[in-house]
Amino acid sequence: MWLARPVLNPEVPMRIALLVVTTALGAFVPLVEAAPTPTQAAYCVAALKARAEPIAQRLREGDTTAEAQLMPVVTGSFAFIGSSYKQGVESAQANELLKAAEERQAKLPKDELAKVQDSCQAEGTQLFANANSFERMFVARAARARVDRLKKRPQ
């Protein structure tokens, strides 16, 4: 009796090979994430600045738990500042963008501002995590200096 072997579609092995290669490369090649635009960065810096102010006030009033809450907010903010710096945004332009962002956010309802702050803090944390070791060191030092200044700010 004649036994016939099933014939595979010749494209199937090629597709499997392509899938294996793509999967393997995906494990070694990091995804390229787009940096926030200077306007987006300024918007998040403004949001995180607004979030940091009441926490800093608690810190100045002696709340010992406030510093641990303040550091990630300030670190995220500096991650956005660093992103804009790397894109060549000059200080004067950054200040204008920040002022415009603060004016827009002043008109937001509190619950909407809180959502923006949550989103920006998560994105700032991710920016910091994706930075190289030199960038993380720079941002961490700037954030530490900022928190130290906020502790001492007169009321």
pLDDT score, position 34? 76
Those residues with Cβ within 8 angstroms of residue 74's Cβ, 6 or more apart along the chain or in another chain: 48, 52, 143, 146, 147, 150
Where helices occur in the chain by DSSP H, the ranges are 11-28, 38-60, 66-86, 91-106, 110-130, 133-152
Q: Average pLDDT, stretch 108-119?
A: 96
pTM over 0.85: no
Per-residue pLDDT tens for 59-86?
999 998 999 999 999 999 999 999 999 9
pLDDT score, position 33? 57
Residues 100, 153, 75, CA angle at the centre, nearest 5°? 60
Per-residue pLDDT tens for 1-45?
444 444 555 554 444 444 444 444 343 334 345 789 999 999 999
Domain chopping of the chain, boundaries: 38-152
Q: Taking all residues of the chain, what is their mean pLDDT, rounded to a whole number? A: 84
State the amino acid at position 69 in one-letter form.
Answer: Q
